[in-house]
Structure 1
Amino acid sequence: MTDTLTEDAFLGGRVKLFQPRVGYRAGVDPVLLAASVPATAGQTVLDLGCGVGAAALCLGARVPGLALTGVEKQEAYARLAESNGSGMLEVVVADLNALPPSLRERQFDHVIANPPYFDRSAGRAAQDAGREAALAENTPLPVWIKVAAKRVKPKGQVHFIHRAERLPEILTALPKYMGTIEVLPISPRAGRLAELVILRAKKNGRAAFRLYPQLILHEGDHHKKDADSYVSKVKAVLRDGAKLEF
């Protein structure tokens, strides 16, 4: 570890990640995304925009025996993901708009993504280049969805975590062959609007659309003290690596 990196524990220490001290740093969102994927041993997983590998490696820690692949356009983050994976995570340095032929020829049982949340036409850029690339939507959200849909196998699933206000855009961008759509809204506290959603869709799925009750992250109706206030279900996901049931 150098002065520019920190080593951070996820899933109660089962996953340890080197991350930039300054810049984009993985938090709760990729852990929740990983927990929502109903993968089984022997399946293949593609993490689009994998960053330092948080989502893919948390999923791999919960479900041993997965073949994990990540795509990351920022080489520094990709190298960290490779190092963090210690051989568990294949990392491809590429832009979603220009995936190498070797990747375009493959399909996966699960494709997951935590795309950048913010449209920079309506906001201010971050000062750190790595953080800006991770947070700012330089590649349009429909492109993420199109690539995910192409790379998933028939009957395979795609999973996205994103801002709740972008849900209509995600639903509109999903190709018609992506069905069995399920949406889990996520709210910081009871009585508040959902801020995030996790969306799951199956290639060639035919089941009806399902909108689940909100997942509440924190106890109480407001922040009372600087301490862990996650509800027990969420704490089990974040600390113990439990599966997040829709």
Structure 2
Amino acid sequence: METTEDLLLDGRVRLIQPKDGYRAAIDPVLLAASVAARAGERVVDLGCGAGAVFACIGARVPGVELIGVERDPEMAGLARRTLAVNGFDGRIETADLTALPATWEAGLIDHVSANPPYLPSERGRPSPNPGRAAAGVETGGDLADWVAVARRCLRHKGTLTLVHRADRLDDILAALVRGFGSVVVFPLFPKAGRDAGRVLVRAVRGGRAPLRLASGLVLHGADGAYTAVTETILRGAPLDL
């Protein structure tokens, strides 16, 4: 696989990723910024790909333990390289998340992040590129399976944070009914006055607070450039949901 080394968070993160196929854009950076991790805690990134999400978390929160789960052996190898070049503490599990045993990290994880495939198999038209196809359309496990794995490995009051398409919000909330509460929905608007295309969703294992719909974030100004707030997040600031 031909690769490139790219920089995230204003050069603080080095990401080894495929030259062709799925490449990290803004979604994993926003997801990482919204994970409320602290030093000494353990974070699992499901479907970690080349490691953009956990690398951004590791750069923002020194002292976290990072665990990635990736079913594609080549992408898992890139994630290990990303860990190594950044000097982060962690490991990568090469496994399909639906094949993880029920005892895997059961109740031991503080935070789970995930950027699941955006479309169910019946709605998606997979890309001819295998990497893009796996990232874009559900194959094997569906959204409920991703949430179920997070529920098993999270400790009580641990958090699950997802980035997903806004039009899948009903599926996300349905999957969170069992075991999660204190849900926050944070819309991501491409421009002011436009409908949200993406949402960040955070849920708490065993949480009991009612759902909260946050004001969200406008990503681009009228000129197409990132807004000032978005720029600070892309440079490493946390995103408080």
**TM-score if structure 2 supplies the norm length?**
0.94
Query: Does the CA contact (< 8 Å) of 2:107 and 2:152 recur in 1?
Result: no
Letter in 1 for 2:230: V
Deviations along 1:96-153, one digit per CA (max 9) or x if unpaired, are 1111577354620001100011223223221111221122111211111111111111
Q: Deviations over 1:212-243 (max 9, x none)?
A: 113100011x64xxxxx11111100102x000
Residues 37-78 of structure 1, C-alpha deviation per residue, up to 9 Å, x if partnerless?
111100000000000010011011000000100000001000
How has the CA–CA distance of structure 1 residues 105 and 31 changed in structure 2, closer, same or farther, with 3 Å as cutoff?
same
Q: Which amino acid aligns with 1:233?
A: V
Instruction: Supply the distance in 2 between the matched residues of 1:43 and 1:60 (Cα, whole angstroms).
Output: 11
Question: What is the aligned-residue identity percentage?
Answer: 46
- Whole-angstrom distance in 1 between the partners of 2:180 and 2:169: 15
Give the counterpart letter for 1:63 in structure 2.
V
SS of residue matched to 2:15: strand
Aligned to 2:212: 210
Tell me how far apart the structure 2 counterparts of residues 104 and 15 of structure 1 sit (CA, whole Å). 27
Question: Unpaired segments of 5 or more residues in structure 1?
Answer: 224-228
- The correspondence of residues 159-170 of structure 1 with structure 2, limited to 5 A, is 159-170=161-172
CA root-mean-square deviation: 1.5
1:113 aligned partner: 114
Give the aligned partner of residue 198 of structure 1: 200
Partner SS state of residue 41, structure 1: coil
Partner of 1:91: 92
For 2:221 and 2:45, locate their aligned partners in 1 and report how far apart those are by CA, in whole Å.
31
Gaps of 5+ in 2: none
Instruction: Tell me the SS of whatever aligns to 2:118.
Output: coil
- Of 173, 176, 180 in structure 1, the residue corresponding to residue 175 of structure 2 is 173
The size of the alignment, in residue pairs, is 237
Which of 24, 27, 30 pairs up with 1:29?
27
